[in-house]
Amino acid sequence: MVKSWDIDLRIPLRFGLIAGLIALMESVIGIVTLSWERSLVANVVTMGQVLLFAPAIVIASMAAKQANQDKKLVSLLYGLVTGFLTAIPLIILIAMATAFDLRQFMPNVSPALIELLTFGRSPVAGSLILLGVTSLMGLLAAAFDFLPKFIQRPLLMGLIVTLTIGIFSEILSNRLRDLVSVDFSRAIFEGKALKTIIAAGLFAFVAVLNFLWNQFQEPIRGAFGSLPPRLTRVLRVLVILVLIALGLLIPTIAGTYLSEVINNVGIFVLMGLGLNIVVGFAGLLDLGYVAFFAIGAYSMAVFTTEGPLGVSNMSFWAAIPFCIVIAAFAGIVLGVPVLRMRGDYLAIVTLGFGEIIRILALSDLLKPYIGGAQGVLKIPKPTIINFFAVIRDFFVNLFRGLPLPKAPFETIDLIKPEQFYYIVLAGCALAWFVSWRLGESRLGRQWMAVREDEDVAEAVGIKLVSTKLLAFAVGAAFSGLSGAFFASKLTSIFPHSFKLDISINVLCLIIIGGIGSLPGVVVGSIILVGMPELLREFKEYRLLMYGILLVVMMLARPEGFIPSAVKRREMLTADEQMQASAETESAAGD
């Protein structure tokens, strides 16, 4: 009888134990205890609850999907058993913690943890409740799958958006307080969480919006596609203008703290765009990329500093071209000896190069010039002419018959992150434009050929030497610009700011974003640089999240969040490729 039902209990067993181990790990390392009181939606759900029960829910849903489509009871059973098993490791933990003092070797298994796992009851009663709760959640997760897709998706989207806003509610409430009023902020947020009623409204709003979008996506797209091409172009320009306006308004909306975070992200976007040329376009694996960042930063530092190490007291703007050229030259210097190397060997040599630059910066040899371990201090922030005031004075004086304004004009120091933002934005926009144009150019094709196969590239008449050196030089130039911004932003730099982990971080962000893809670099930077900063309240656990994210990404979506066209194609199977090419052909035929 069991056979006819097609039940394979090994499925929920495997999934349940995985979920249980995840929940157990979260408890033992202490993140559940830490975030148990951290509400996402006031009086409804806390971060700790989400963390503790998410494995049961998500993995039970995965287990339930393993059952045969039309065997609804089986899939419910899978969900139930998975949920049930999720609690088992936790119950063992409760039992052991009650019997022995585990804190000697697991310092985070505190009475507080046990109390929250048992819901404040006795160990036995608490364990039974826990078992009941996780089983119920598993069952519900399995049942959720029976809902039609057009209901599932809006619900999920609403949940994700509401919880995400809940996580960032402290930052958001601070911004609302400054932008609107304290009362408005209090009306929406309660402490560090969304108010219950607001959360419900938000959930409903997002769900309905998503529902409507899913329902009317096709007709809207169709209507847009059938507009006359002229109007489409006008609309496209309008969208771009709105985006530019938004880009310019961001610092006002975001405030000081978020602007600072955005500036850090921007500095990594700039580096990512550069490394994307070297690794993504030309396929040269460079692990010493931080070297050019350091060279750009130190160039900016010694050219502009007002301290004893300064060589020229140049302005920020005068120093920028030098920083770019020096970094690009360093790129060529690195490029020449590694021309004949490929893959792993190239990675190791560039790794060494990165370390050499850092150690040189630390060394006594260069200490008289770049300060050794003490670094370079008193790097001025950039200054711009106050064009607004100059133009105003020009007209005012013109009408009044006074002498017109003359150089030196009135200037503004870009001290605040909100002001510095515009410099980073301009740098990123420039790098984006250059990357985009180069990627489509003849040089871009050369890079692609070298990346795919050096030998064949040479056989079709591509100069390997200049192609590779140009990739190194352009990549290094972007990184040098980024370093120059970095030095000017921090106003002091030290050798330990240029460790290997920056190279690794930049490499990770272009891989997570989608190697070879420009939007991918931005998404990768936001996720790997911006997120850890915004999640600062979770202390060292955010690094754990970072690590988990990397592993999960590489398993679930190895091509990255926004893959480039070539990468996306590569990940398709041969059948899908035939289908895709047939589709593009029929599209071309229209």
Q: Could you check whether the bond before residue 408 is cis, i.e. omega within 30 degrees of 0? A: yes
Q: Pick the closer one to other proteins by CB: 359 or 582.
A: 582
- Residue 21 or 464 having the CB closest to other proteins: 464
Q: Which range touches other proteins (CB under 8 A), out of 83-91, 200-208, 456-464, 524-532?
A: 456-464
59 and 19 Cβ atoms separated by less than 8 Å: yes
Closer of 457 and 469 to other proteins (Cβ): 457
Q: Is 456 in the site for other proteins (CB under 8 A)?
A: yes
- Helix (H) / strand (E) element for 445: namely helix 442-452
Question: Can you give 119-152 as a three-state secondary structure string?
Answer: CCCCHHHHHHHHHHHHHHHHHHHHHHCCCCHHHH
In Å, the largest CA–CA distance within the chain is 103
In whole angstroms, the minimum distance from the beta carbon of 446 to other proteins comes to 8
Please report, for residues 339, 342, 347, 363, the alpha-carbon distance to residue 284 in angstroms, rounded to integers and kept in the order given: 10, 7, 8, 29
Does 441 bind other proteins (CB under 8 A)? Our answer is no
Binding residues among 548-567 for other proteins as defined by CB under 8 A: 566
Among 235, 398, 429, 578, binds other proteins (CB under 8 A): 578
8 makes contact with other proteins (CB under 8 A): no
Residue among 103, 463, 496, 536 that touches other proteins (CB under 8 A): 463
Of 270, 272, 266, 261, which Cα lies nearest the Cα of 506? 272
Instruction: Give the contacts of 402 (CB within 8 A, at least 6 positions apart).
Output: 396
Q: Does 72 bind other proteins (CB under 8 A)?
A: no
Q: How far apart are CA 541 and CA 547, in angstroms?
A: 10
> Residue 320 or 449: which CB sits closer to other proteins?
449
How far apart (Å, rounded) are the C-alpha atoms in residues 435 and 192?
41
Q: How far is the CB of 574 from other proteins (least distance, A)?
A: 5
449 contacts other proteins (rule: CB under 8 A) = yes
Q: Is 590 in the site for other proteins (CB under 8 A)?
A: no
Question: Would you count residue 455 as binding other proteins (CB under 8 A)?
Answer: yes
| 22, containing H or E segment | helix 10-29
Closest Cα partner for 164 from 190, 202, 197?
202
User: Does position 459 bind other proteins by CB under 8 A?
Assistant: yes
Are residues 386 and 412 in contact, defined by beta-carbon separation less than 8 angstroms?
A: yes
Residue 226, phi then psi, degrees to nearest 5: -90, 0
When binding is defined by CB under 8 A, the residue of 70, 585, 586, 589 that contacts other proteins is: 585
Q: Is residue 452 part of the contact set for other proteins (CB under 8 A)?
A: yes
- Residue indicated by tokens 């060589």: 311
- Residue of the chain from 6, 306, 413, 570 that contacts other proteins (CB under 8 A): 570
Q: Cβ closer to other proteins: 101 or 440?
A: 440
Query: Minimum CB separation from other proteins for residue 436, in Å?
Result: 19
The region of 112-120, 151-159, 457-465, 545-553 touching other proteins under the rule CB under 8 A is: 457-465
Q: Least separation, in Å, of the C-beta of 478 and other proteins?
A: 25
From CA 250, how far away is CA 394, in angstroms rounded?
30
Residues that bind other proteins (CB under 8 A): 445-446, 448-449, 452-453, 455-464, 566, 569-570, 574, 577-578, 580-581, 584-585
